[in-house]
Amino acid sequence: MWTSLWDRLRELDLGQVLLALLDIGIIAYLIYRVLILVRGTRATQLMRGLALIVLAYWISGYIGLKATHWLFDKVWVALFVAIPIVFQPELRRALEQVGRGSFFRPVHTLPAEEEHRTLEELVKATMALARNKTGALIVIERTTGLEDVIETGIRIEGLVTAEFLVNLFVPNTPLHDGAVIIRGSRVMAAGCFLPLAELHAVPPELGSRHRAALGITEHTDAIAIVVSEETGHVALAHEGKLIRGLDEEDLRDLLEKLMPRKETPFILPFNWHNRGEGK
Is the entire prediction scored with pTM above 0.85?
no
Lowest mean pLDDT among 20-24, 232-236, 265-269: 265-269
pLDDT above 50 (res 275)? no
Give the tens place of pLDDT for each residue, 20-69: 888 888 888 887 777 766 665 556 667 777 788 888 888 988 888 888 88
3-class DSSP string for the chain: CHHHHHHHHHHCCHHHHHHHHHHHHHHHHHHHHHHHHHCCCCHHHHHHHHHHHHHHHHHHHHHCCHHHHHHHHHHHHHHHHHHHHHCHHHHHHHHHHHHHCCCCCCCCCCCHHHHHHHHHHHHHHHHHHHHCCCCEEEEECCCCCCHHHHCCCEEEEEECCHHHHHHHCCCCCCCCCCEEEEECCEEEEEEECCCCCCCCCCCCCCCHHHHHHHHHHHHCCCEEEEECCCCCCEEEEECCEEEEEECHHHHHHHHHHHCCCCCCCCCCCCECCCCCCCC
User: How much is the pLDDT for 102?
Assistant: 47
Q: Please, which residues have CB within 8 angstroms of residue 87's CB and are 6 or more apart in sequence?
A: 43, 46
Averaged pLDDT, 212-231: 88
Lowest mean pLDDT among 13-17, 85-89, 247-251: 85-89
All structural domains of the chain: 2-100 (no CATH), 112-258 (3.40.1700.10)
Averaged pLDDT, 110-135: 90
* Average pLDDT of every residue of the chain: 78
pLDDT above 50 (res 278)? no
Averaged pLDDT, 124-151: 90
How much of the chain, in percent, has pLDDT values that exceed 90? 26
pLDDT above 70 (res 225)? yes
Higher pLDDT, 223 or 52: 223
Give the integer Cα–Cα distance in Å for 200 and 104: 41
Q: How confident is the model at residue 129 (pLDDT cuts 50, 70, 90)?
A: very high
pLDDT above 50 (res 279)? no
Averaged pLDDT, 183-193: 92
Lowest mean pLDDT among 33-37, 102-106, 242-246: 102-106
pLDDT above 60 (res 1)? no
Please calculate the CA angle 23-36-215 and round it to the nearest 5 degrees.
155
Among candidate residues 139, 111, 132, the one with its CA nearest the CA of residue 213: 139
